Amino acid sequence: MKVYSAMDPLTGEISYTDRKRYLWLLSVLFPLIPLVGMGLMLWTGQQWTLWIPLIFVYAGIPLLDYLFPNDQSNPPEQVVPELEADPYYRWLNHLTVPLHFVILFTGAWFAASQDLGISGLLALSLIVGAISGYGINTGHELGHKKEPADRLAARVVLAVPFYGHFSMEHNVGHHAEVATPEDSASARFGESIYRFALREIPGGLRRGWRLEGERLQRRGFKQWSWRNEILQSYALSLVLYGGLIYLFGAGILPFLLIQLAFAWWQLTSANYIEHYGLLRAKGKDGRYERCQPHHSWNANHLASNLVTFHLERHSDHHAFAARRYQSLRHFDDVPQLPSGYFGMFILAYVPFLWRRVMDPRVLELVDGDIDRVNTGQMSGA
């Protein structure tokens, strides 16, 4: 295990060992999980085995989250600069990028080469779509960084779920308006995930294109140009999907469309649970307060964090977006989800259960004051 050290003027030398250093490899291996179902079907000849990886993701990982104690460990702030400078963690992000292309290609080949019934095709499409959606998480981690190679890798991997507008929409739009009624990616109190999706998906598309157009205009360029980073990612998506159809035939279109829809649904599911009902206060000047850790729902569940590059430590991420995943912190006084993201997704898909679990938690945070909750109402000072 590598030891990180720093000198503190008050306490002397501080040493830190990341006990999860090699466990982060799970985030790299996680995109390969559809291969388990495909391999089992080739071995047994049974199409129902294609459902096994999907069941593991949405039932097995929540069970592991329940069985293992939550991880509340934080690296000492004095060693964070050295920890974030370690190229090992960054390379794990980059290694994940090509795996998303491999899985989409393999899934398309499998759909074309195997005589799948409706159930088998649906299972294959959903699990590959879940991993395509996970590609947005990879792009999320890389797209927030300043290094050009990271940002380029983000645009590349976002081509897999055809979500090239994400980096602009998320980094510039969502992070500025998070936990406000104006933000299309912040779920409102009492809003079901299905109603949220009708607002979040088109809202994200419009905001991403508008912000990219404004960025190009400031630089004296037209929106429809090769300098448009959204178009760069979309162009790669067209090449990718067009190439798959050319190689395997138009018969794979149902597979491609289902997995694409489910990939987008994964981001919508994450956005829904991350800020549900939370509201930033507006000052007398009409401006919202700076985003703080308590404006995001956090989760310290071990298993789901280890396969998502610490995505669930969302409170620290939104307050300090440039921090790398290995140094994201736990805070004692922030809203905590009762399960990791995969378990919360399932809960969100049943609106009355979601509200029964989450609405009391939201109201408890604000001592029952509904005016301090994001209900979607635009308020003054």
pLDDT in tens, 326-337: 999 999 999 999
Q: What is 229-297 written as a DSSP string?
A: HHHHHHHHHHHHHHHHHHHH-GGGHHHHHHHHHHHHHHHHHHHHHHSTT----B-TTSPBPPP-GGGS-
Rounded CA separation 336/356 (Å): 16
- The answer to whether residues 185 and 170 touch, using CB atoms and an 8 Å cutoff, is yes
Per-residue pLDDT at 313 exceeds 60: yes
Domain count, the chain: 1
Task: Output the pLDDT for position 6.
Answer: 83
pLDDT at 300 over 80: yes
Q: pLDDT at residue 274 above 80?
A: yes
Predicted pLDDT at 286: 86
Provide the pLDDT for residue 381.
40
Q: What is the mean pLDDT of the chain?
A: 95
Query: What integer pLDDT is reported at residue 9 of this predicted model?
Result: 76
**Neighbouring residues of 209: CB distance < 8 A, sequence distance ≥ 6:** 165, 223, 230
Is 6 contained in some domain? no
**In-domain check, residue 5:** no
pLDDT at 379 over 60: no
Q: Which residue type sits at 90?
A: R
Which residue type does 372 have? R
Q: 367 is in which domain, residue-wise? A: 22-372
Whether pLDDT at 275 is above 60: yes
Span 245-255, average pLDDT = 98
Model confidence at 11, in pLDDT bands (50, 70, 90)?
A: confident
Tell whether 41 is covered by a domain.
yes
Mean pLDDT throughout 53-61?
A: 98
pTM here is 0.94
Looking at the chain, list the stretches that DSSP marks H as alpha helix, in order from N- to C-terminal side. Answer: 25-29, 34-44, 52-55, 61-67, 80-85, 87-113, 118-143, 148-157, 166-167, 175-177, 193-218, 229-248, 253-274, 302-306, 314-319, 341-348, 351-365
> Is residue 331 within a helix (H) or strand (E), and if so which, with residue range?
none
In a domain, 12, yes or no: no
Q: Which residues pair with 8 in a beta bridge?
A: 12
Mean pLDDT of 37-59: 97
Both structure tokens of 24: 């982060």
Whether the Cβ atoms of residue 273 and residue 345 lie closer than 8 Å to each other: yes
Nearest Cα to 229, choosing from 307, 148, 286?
148
- The reply to whether 8 falls in a domain is no
Per-residue pLDDT, 199: 97
Whether pLDDT at 380 is above 70 = no
In terms of C-beta distances under 8 Å and separation of at least 24 residues, what long-range contacts does 85-90 make, across chains too? Answer: 86/2, 86/4, 86/326, 88/2, 88/21, 89/24, 89/324, 89/325, 89/326, 90/150, 90/324
What integer is the mean pLDDT of 3-32?
Answer: 89
Is residue 77, in this structure, part of any structural domain at all?
yes
> Measured between alpha carbons, how far is 139 from 167 in angstroms, rounded to an integer?
8
* pLDDT greater than 80 at residue 66: yes
Tokens of 222: 């037209």
CA distance 13 to 109: 55
266 is a domain residue: yes
The answer to whether position 313 is within a domain reads: yes
Residues 141-146, mean pLDDT to the nearest whole number: 93
The pLDDT, as a whole number, for residue 1 is 74
In the block, residue with structure tokens 């398309």: 108
Residue 46: exposure state from Cβ atoms within 10 A (0-12, 13-18, ≥19): exposed
